[in-house]
Amino acid sequence: MSMRRIQRDKIHEEFIQTLISGEQAIFREIWRVLLFAAALGVKKGSRRPLEDVDTGKAFPENYFNTPGWKGFLYLLGFLDNETSEHLKNDEKEQDKLITAFEEYANFGLHEMSKIVTSSFDSLGQIAELISENSKSELEPLDLSDDELL
């Protein structure tokens, strides 16, 4: 069973094109923009429903050319549910996962575009945002001999 096509809000089209094309492109493909935007939405803990979509620009989930895509998608399901129902190979459950992804990405795109409109160095600000959100917040483990005994 294949998942439904992934959509995005029309309001972000020009912004996304700025991020993926030209000399100052930060991302190589749209799926990378959406994945980062969704991760930002998750980090901020917010979703934003899509308001106006162009179904002709929707694309299949297999465009996400990364082995972690399905895992990321299934983790989104755990954010919204306390059960594992979303892991079922059921069209309704998979539709909920795609909707969650679209809404987290939509929120992330809104946040990213706010940064761009409020800055003289918009792409530099987005690059800084990516850098800030790529750093691990985990503390390194101290595996000294004292700890092991």
Q: How many domains does the chain have?
A: 1
If you average pLDDT over residues 57-80, what whole number do you get?
86
In terms of residue numbers, what domain contains 108?
Answer: 10-136
Average pLDDT score over residue span 112-135: 72
Please report the pLDDT score of residue 34 as a whole number: 94
Residue 149 lies in a domain: no
How many Cα atoms within 13 Å fall on the side-chain side of residue 108? 25
Q: In this model, does residue 82 exceed pLDDT 90?
A: no
Q: Is residue 142 part of a domain?
A: no
Question: Does pLDDT of 19 surpass 70?
Answer: yes
Q: Which residues contact 53 (CB under 8 A, 6 or more apart)?
A: 7, 8, 9, 10
CA distance 88 to 94: 8
Query: Is residue 1 in some structural domain?
Result: no
Higher pLDDT, 35 or 117: 35
Residue 48 lies in a domain: yes
